[in-house]
Amino acid sequence: MTVNWSQDLEIGVEKIDRQHRAFFEQRDKFLNACTKLLEEEGDSKTTRDEIDELFYFLTDYFKTHFDDEEELLEEKEYPYYEQHQKRHRKFISEIQEIKYEFLQSEEIDIDLLHNLEEKITDWFVNHIAKEDKKIAEYL
Ligand SMILES: [Fe+2]
Ligand SMILES: [Fe+2]
């Protein structure tokens, strides 16, 4: 699925927008590595490195993003705060599960790659572009 970054996705808070953009860029790098692997132009070592980087990003950088975003929601008394926080937590735990499965397998599991691809694209399309965008109305 082709998804492009556009300024419409910004909520107007520099730090949060920068973090969302970083997510988009990380997703792009990961998808490129997957495409190359599937078209047999890439090797599994490069793809594995990209996946490792993506996991590191999602569990480290993006955890900080969730904390920053939740702090903003609290400060602005965002009415759907709890619901929003639950989604963040669910996403992290789903990623942890995939990461765990991924680390168990020696060969790259293509189904797992697809699953990860779907998850992060869905996050971008349905969370960042919709749920997070809604925050802008309350700033
Ligand atoms: Fe966000
Ligand atoms: Fe969010």
Ligand 1 centre to CA of 67 (Å) is 10
Q: Indicate the pLDDT class of residue 1, thresholds 50, 70 and 90.
A: low
Residue 52 contacts residue 138 (beta carbons within 8 Å): no
Question: CB within 8 A of 70, min separation 6: which ones?
Answer: 81, 84, 85, 88
The mean per-residue pLDDT over the stretch 48-55 comes to 89
Residue 84 Cα to ligand 2 middle (Å): 6
Say what the pTM is: 0.92
Spacing of C-alpha 134 from chain mean position: 18
Q: Which residue has the higher pLDDT, 33 or 2?
A: 33
pLDDT band at 46, cuts 50/70/90?
A: confident
More confident residue, 46 or 10: 10
CA of 131, nearest ligand number: 2
Res. 96: pLDDT tops 70: yes
Cα 127 to ligand 1 centre (Å): 7
Average pLDDT of the chain?
Answer: 92
Q: What is the mean pLDDT of residues 41-57?
A: 88
Measured between alpha carbons, how far is 23 from 17 in angstroms, rounded to an integer? 10
Q: What was the pLDDT predicted at 28? A: 92
Domains located in the chain, CATH noted: 11-138 (1.20.120.50)
pLDDT interval class at 81 (50, 70, 90):
very high
**For residues 45 and 129, what is the distance between their CA atoms, to the nearest angstrom?**
32
pLDDT higher than threshold 90 for residue 85 = yes
Pair of tokens at residue 58: 């999602």
Evaluate if residue 136 carries a pLDDT over 70.
Answer: yes
Residues whose CB is under 5 A from ligand 2 (ion)?
132
Angle between helices 110-122 and 81-104 (to 10 degrees): 160
